[in-house]
Every structure is written in C-alpha cells, then in structure tokens.
Amino acid sequence: MMEANKTLVMEFVLTGLTDLPGLQVPLFLVFLVIYLTTMVGNLGLIFLIWKDPHLHTPMYSFLGSLAFADACSSSSVTPKMLINFLSVNHTISLVECISQFYIFASSANTECFLLVVMAYDRYVAICNPLLYPMVMYNIFCTQLIGVSYIIGFLHPMMHVGLLFRLTFCKSNVIHYFYCEILQLFKMSCTDPRVNMLLIFVFSVFIQSFTFMSIIISYTHVLLAVLKKKSEKGRNKAFSTCSAHLLSVSLFYGTLFFMYVRPGSRSAEKQDKLYSLFYTIIIPLLNPFIYSLRNKEVIGALKRIINK
C-alpha cells in the first residue's frame, strides 16, 4: 500500500469479488463459462444477421450493433477479472485502468443511444407501417448507428480527460473487480468534486433523456398495438416490444442505481452487485432475450445449420 501524500500511485490493486482463496478457481470457471457464452451469443447473433438475407432489415441492423456493443462491454472487464482469479498479482497500471474504464463507458453509452434507436424503429414500424420504408431507409439507419457510436465514444473522453487532472497518492487498493470511476475518485488526493459533479450531471441527462425517449416511443407503440384488430399482429408486436422493454428495464435499472442515486458507504456491496449485473450479466442475457422468442432469428439459425 502506498504511503499517503508522499508517493504518487501509478498502479492499482484490484481486490476482485472476494479474497477467499477457496473460491478463486470455482469463480474463474463460472465467469469463464459466462464470458464464452456471452461472446458466442453476441458474435453468433452478428454472424446470423450478416449471413442471412432475411435479417437484412433495419431492426436486425440495430440488434447487431447492440450485440457488438455488448461484446465490447463484456470484453473490457471480464478477461482481466478471469486473469486475477488465477493470479497472485492483481495489479493494473493507471493507463490500463483508465483504458478499461473508457472502453466500458463507451460501450455502455453507445448502448443507451442504440436502445433509443431501436425503440424509434419499432414506433415507426407499428405506428406508421406505410411510411416505414421511406423513413427507415438504409443510409438513414447507418447514420443512426454511426451517431450512436460517435456520441457513445466521445462522451467518456471528457471524463477520461478530467481523470488526468487527478493525482492518486492515497491507498492503491481498489475494492472492486474492475476500474470503476467512482472508486478512483475515492483515492484521489486532488479534489474530485468537479469530476463527480460532471459524472452525475451527464449521467442524469443522458440516462433520463434516452430512457424517456424510449418510454414515449413504447407508449405510442402500446396504444397502436391495442387498436390492432388482428390478434396475430398484436401478439407479434407484443413479443418484439416485450423483449426490448425487458432489456431496457435491466440496463437502465442498474445504471440509475449506480450513477444517479446518492451514494452511501452501506451501499458499496450493493454497488458491486449492480456493477456485476450490468458489466457481465446483461451482455450475457441480451442475445437470448432478443432471440429466444424471435421466429426470424430461430429460422435463420435453422437455415444455417441445415446448409
């Protein structure tokens, strides 16, 4: 542990999920299976969408982009955690730590905006089906995906830039399984209040704006679905939208708890659980949430297998 106020910290120690030696190998095996399943699920979904012409539609282009963001999100955190389960040395350099935060934050931000785009796509498809081909044409869809990624990757740059104004000279032990930015603030010898304020303000703005946009879109969708006379049409619309809403609820629920609500010491263990959920579990669940009840995806998988 570094001596406070004397030596600048240039590397940190990640304590991980637990320091109990007997749990390291079992946890390694559990999270290895989770990570491999996550990558197979998300990259497999991207492959299906690319390979099958029936899935060359705006909705599946957005879904493929979301799967890529989930793969990036999981890969930014899980590999280092797996290494630490089997390693005595749990150190991570300052540059590696900030890089890990940037990749994860960029993926999470991108996912926020992609979920808005997907909600808008369903709104146009269900509320204005005749206008859908004219509104959601290929170039416009590509632009929506591009803007989502550009905003997603630009926004965390501000927080990364502000991190470099901080000096770390307190403890170098991060009681977490990855470089979570709020944990870094606790170790700063420089006053991090500006950083914390900007994190809070931008988190509230981005999460509230994107979440409300999604809710407004799906409110219109729900009203339109209830007016449909065809039971088959209603069931198909409900099936698609329920998958989207489940993913949105899981994603935003954990983010709101982490970055918008006021923090407290008693909530540190809960924060670690929330972080585990949105960094590792949500990227695992998303491809299955969107695929298991999706006849087009299942049909595409059968066609690939039967070739």
Is residue 98 included in any domain, yes or no?
yes
Q: What is the pLDDT of residues 110-130, one digit of tens each?
A: 999 999 999 999 999 989 989
Amino acid in the structure at residue 163: L
Q: What is the pLDDT of residues 21-45, one digit of tens each?
A: 889 999 999 999 999 999 999 999 9
18 against 138, higher pLDDT: 138
Total domains, the chain:
1
As to burial, measured by CB atoms within 10 angstroms (0-12 exposed, 13-18 middle, 19+ buried), residue 280 is buried
Is residue 197 included in any domain, yes or no?
yes
Predicted local confidence at residue 116, as pLDDT: 96
* Helix 58-86, helix 94-127: angle, nearest 10: 150
User: Half-sphere exposure of 203 toward its Cβ, with a 13 Å CA cutoff?
Assistant: 22
Is residue 5 included in any domain, yes or no?
no
CATH at residue 160: 1.20.1070.10
Q: Among 71-80, 97-106, 148-157, 292-301, which stretch is predicted with the lowest mean pLDDT?
A: 292-301
Residue range of the domain that includes 292? 11-306
Is residue 177 included in any domain, yes or no?
yes
Contact 147, 228 (CB under 8 A): no
- Greatest mean pLDDT among 154-163, 168-177, 237-246: 154-163
Share of the chain above pLDDT 70, in %: 91
Is residue 160 included in any domain, yes or no?
yes
- Greatest mean pLDDT among 88-97, 246-255, 286-295: 88-97
Across all residues in the chain, what is the average pLDDT? 87
Is residue 164 included in any domain, yes or no?
yes
Is residue 153 included in any domain, yes or no?
yes
Predicted local confidence at residue 271, as pLDDT: 74
Share of the chain above pLDDT 90, in %: 53
Is residue 6 included in any domain, yes or no?
no
Predicted local confidence at residue 6, as pLDDT: 53
Does pTM top 0.85 for this prediction?
A: yes
Average pLDDT over residues 121-140: 92
Predicted local confidence at residue 3, as pLDDT: 43
SS3 percent helix, strand, coil of the chain, rounded to 5, is 75, 5, 20
Average pLDDT over residues 247-269: 69
